[in-house]
A and B are shown apart, each in its own frame.
Chain A
Amino acid sequence: RKEVEQDPGPFNVPEGATVAFNCTYSNSASQSFFWYRQDCRKEPKLLMSVYSSGNEDGRFTAQLNRASQYISLLIRDSKLSDSATYLCVVNYYSNYQLIWGAGTKLIIKP
């Protein structure tokens, strides 16, 4: 079983739709969580950190469920520019590695 697993893609959704990604992690000792976004042939860039209380940034909402060991990302009113690969990342304080999911590709269609 992979340490970090994401929904397989691609997700093809119409512009304006709401889309949700889930990510599960296997190590209960995981301490911090992030969603990164990677555009085609570009480097990953931080989209949001994920806090225990959940957090929102404009159209994006991230939530963490420690009991079930998953995090989620919700995108409302999707835009064409949201098309990218979304990467779930988990950090273990014990060794400071970032453990990456394989990514979910999102395609927003006009």
Chain B
Amino acid sequence: EAGVTQFPSHSVIEKGQTVTLRCDPISGHDNLYWYRRVMGKEIKFLLHFVKESKQDESGMPNNRFLAERTGGTYSTLKVQPAELEDSGVYFCASSPSTGGTEAFFGQGTRLTVV
């Protein structure tokens, strides 16, 4: 069974450019989460989808970040325009049900804004 996959694995962009990260969750998982880890800090929650609906987006840092989950399948996270402080590793995770169950993580996208 395929795990959570993320694309690209690495991205280096200039400040002011736009980047779109993609996450394909495990098939059948209704819950999809985005997290971010910046250098030296703990992993932070960004948002949570249940199917195509945003259940909780309280962790989104500002309106430069836009997440979508078309048809409740894959999700994209767009950063526009990117700033230097957006650099970090963006993880996506999925789980079959909420509350007390394991979340399966993708390998992450390492974003570097220069």
Contacts and interface: CB of A to CB of B under 8 A. Distances in A.
B42 A96 contact: no
User: How would you classify the secondary structure of chain B's contact residues: helix, strand, loop or mixed?
Assistant: loop
A110 B98 CA distance: 41
Contacts of B35: 98, 100
B112 interface: no
B45 A98 contact: yes
Contact of A32 (B43, B45, B48, B99): B99
A96 B102 contact: no
Interface in A48-99: 49, 87, 91, 93, 95-99
Range of interface residues on B (Cβ < 8 Å) = 20 to 34
Contact of A100 (B31, B42, B99, B102): B42
Contact of A49 (B31, B45, B99, B102): B102
Interface in B86-100: 91, 93, 98-100
A44 B43 CA distance: 10
B105 A43 contact: yes
Contacts of B59: 97
B45 A99 contact: yes
A95 B31 CA distance: 12
B64 interface: no
6 contacts: A43-B91, A91-B99, A97-B48, A98-B33, A100-B35, A103-B42
Interface of A: 2, 4, 31-32, 34, 42-46, 49, 87, 91, 93, 95-103
The 10 A-B residue pairs with the shortest CB-CB distance in the complex, in nearest-first order:
A32-B100, A102-B42, A43-B105, A100-B43, A96-B98, A97-B45, A93-B99, A46-B102, A43-B107, A100-B42
